[in-house]
Amino acid sequence: MRIGPAIKLKIISQKRDIQFWVFQQLDQIVAMNPNLLTKMPMFNPGLFQPLVFSLNRLEQLITLVCTSSTTPVFPLLRWEDYSWSQV
């Protein structure tokens, strides 16, 4: 079943921690499944009252995140720099 683009929102407030889906073509989806919002509350864009969310446009964005950390206690060692001998 193709129901179009959607995003999943997670909202954390002082009173609630809630997750729900917001579909771009919700009217068409509800027309095909009239009891959808009562059977599956996670599809209700008005679940976080008094706000009602809608998805008007969706754009693809690629983000690259690079992180770096240094640990002064553990220096980087190459295996060939050190040799061991048995006693």
- Residue tagged 């679940």 (tokens): 47
**Spatial separation of the C-alpha atoms in residues 3 and 23, rounded to whole Å:** 8
Q: What is the pLDDT of residues 13-69, one digit of tens each?
A: 888 888 988 888 888 888 888 888 888 888 888 888 888 888 888 777 777 777 666
**Spatial separation of the C-alpha atoms in residues 65 and 63, rounded to whole Å:** 6
Threshold 0.75, pTM exceeds: no
Contact 29, 3 (CB under 8 A): yes
Per the structure block, which two tokens stand in for 63? Answer: 């983000």
| Helix or strand (DSSP H, E) at 22 | strand 17-23
Instruction: Indicate the Cα dihedral angle 36, 40, 45, 48, nearest 10°.
Output: 140
